[in-house]
Chain A
Amino acid sequence: MKVLIPGISGVIGRIVARDLLEHGHEVIGIDRRPWEAAPKSVEMHDTDIRKRAAEEVFRRVRPDAVVHLATVTHLVAATEERYRINLGGTRAVFEHARTYGVKQCLFVGRHTYYGAGPDTPLYHSEEDPPMAVTTFPELADLVAADLYATTALWRAPQLTTCVLRMTYTLGPTGHGTLSTFLRGRRVPGVLGFDPLFQYMHEEDAASAIVLALEEGLRGVFNVAGPSPVPLSLLVEAAGRRFVPLPEALLLRLFGRFGLPRLPPGALSHIKYPVVIDDKLFRQATGFAPRVDETQCITEFLEAFPPRA
């Protein structure tokens, strides 16, 4: 089938494109970021998904399916810009999909949707509410984009909509929220807390997306890899030093002394776990991650050894 990928130049986008080509599909990409080493068979369009040129791609190409990967986190963009990209972009994707007869639309969201707090259950099912809006306000735009995408399930019944809420990725590319957090020599924690972290290998994340597409999955699904690991163990296995600091001190130290720069809301996500139950997705697709929790860390460590 003809698959259009907004956000193709990101790490996951590139792997998804490669996998789709290998499976004999046709791939068209939309991204402002360049992908120099893109395979020749991939038709690339350097445009913003919210611009008219992007609509022109939909009109001309008439894709069978869209994999929407063009969302960003607080680590990448400032608030206003983020809202424009995440909400405006998602809206554009679904509107064009309806207008130009796309059959299948896949939104790739994040498991942080569920939020982290002292009273939240350890394994979230798809029905759990998006507590992230209160525990981590900087994620509100991603939550809104996720919820907007799910409304397509009843607003556009002719479109096979699938929302995947995926865990962090961890692997040799060092891409993503968790990898960025683990980059430095020292990784901060909150003294007296050690939440579980759930992650999956980039290749597994891409496989899950391709699988959902090929199975024609409809609905909302949590997608996870191996079982979660306590932050302290994860940090030590990644060859870093875990530095638990009192909460009040940590807030002042974000962005200094080699510690990552994080918004205050992020604190709840290094205090309490966000762990999702992916039973439904596994049942629907037969998905099983190929890389286990230890191998993910090893590959990350080899690619990004801690600076001496």
Chain B
Amino acid sequence: MSLLYDDEVLERLERLELPFNRLGVDPYGVTKRHLALAFSLTKGLYRNYFGVSVQGAGNVPARGRAMLIGNHSGGVAIDGLMVILSMFWELDPPRLAQGMVEKFLNRVAFASLFSNRTGQFTGLPEHCVRLLEDERLLMVFPEGARGTAKLYRERHSLVNFGTGFLRLALKARAPIVPFAFLGGGEAFPTVWNSQTLGRLVGAPYVPITAYLAPIPLPVSMEVYYGEPLRFPGDGDEDDPVIQAWVDQVKDRIRDMIAEGCRRRGVTPALGDGGGR
């Protein structure tokens, strides 16, 4: 097992500021062993296969509570994985981004085990509040499964944002770091989402690519982190107020996607699109 561990990963893990106990377990069951394995196995994917380029990582607070809010770019949640990797590889000291995962994953053998041991928990408000109060770095995709279900042609669009994330951020007084992710849709060009196949494996849907195989293509990916956003509220505001702030976050992300598209030389699909 230890042969799989990458030295650079082990060195960075030592600088990760999590309260591991003598057994190498943190209070949430995140283990050094699983993190070492996860980061070692994905290093090549991050560095070479996708060659993820990251901009504005300095906008993420070095310590303390914060919420990363961004777009899904289609296919599967490979964008989530790359955001976690970017926080581990680009920040000094590295940070563990903890995602709020779709409910179905915790029912699936091994997926449940691995996500829990690496700090990726079911997206429950209780988890969100607790992790923020514990000064953790949270990663939320407010589009949820609607976002990963974007088809290839919808990859640069944004679908509906929920408002829950913003209320929780306000209650915990956590800054929101908006980010834009590009390339997930190209890597995983979905032409159709099969809900029938999804039911068989216990997932909301299974994406079908143009070439059928569920293997991502080696395309370059980009993450842009914007400056932290703070809103003058405590989470007890009326829906219209919250909605206006959510729209501000969404607009910021849309601008960053558009900027990224220009750099990539593609036309961004603005406006609300997407769906199944």
Contacts and interface: CB of A to CB of B under 8 A. Distances in A.
A26 interface: no
Interface residues of A, number: 24
Contacts of B106: 118-119, 272
Contacts of A192: 108-113
Contact of B107 (A118, A122, A229, A293): A118
Contact of A293 (B23, B109, B116, B121): B23
B127 A122 contact: yes
Interface stretch (B26-34, B211-219, B223-231): B26-34
12 contacts: A118-B106, A118-B122, A121-B124, A121-B126, A122-B121, A194-B116, A227-B26, A228-B29, A229-B25, A233-B23, A273-B29, A292-B22
B126 A193 contact: no
A192 B106 CA distance: 10
A193 B28 contact: no
How many residues of B sit at the interface, in one of the four size bands? 20 to 34
Contact of B31 (A230, A273, A293): A230
A116 to B, nearest CB: 11
Interface in B1-56: 21-23, 25-29, 31
Contact of A233 (B25, B108, B126): B25
A229 B23 contact: yes
Nearest to B125: A121
A233 B26 CA distance: 13
Interface in A215-258: 226-230, 233, 237, 247
A230 B28 contact: no
Given A228-B27, A293-B21, A293-B23, A118 B110 contact: no
A191 interface: yes
B124 A194 contact: no
Nearest to B110: A192
Given A118-B122, A123-B130, A194 B27 contact: no
The 9 closest A-B pairs by CB, nearest first: A192-B109, A121-B126, A192-B110, A118-B106, A227-B27, A196-B29, A118-B107, A194-B113, A121-B124
Contact of A230 (B27, B117, B122): B117
Interface string A263-276: 00000000011000
B82 to A, nearest CB: 25
A294 interface: yes
Interface string A285-297: 0000000111000
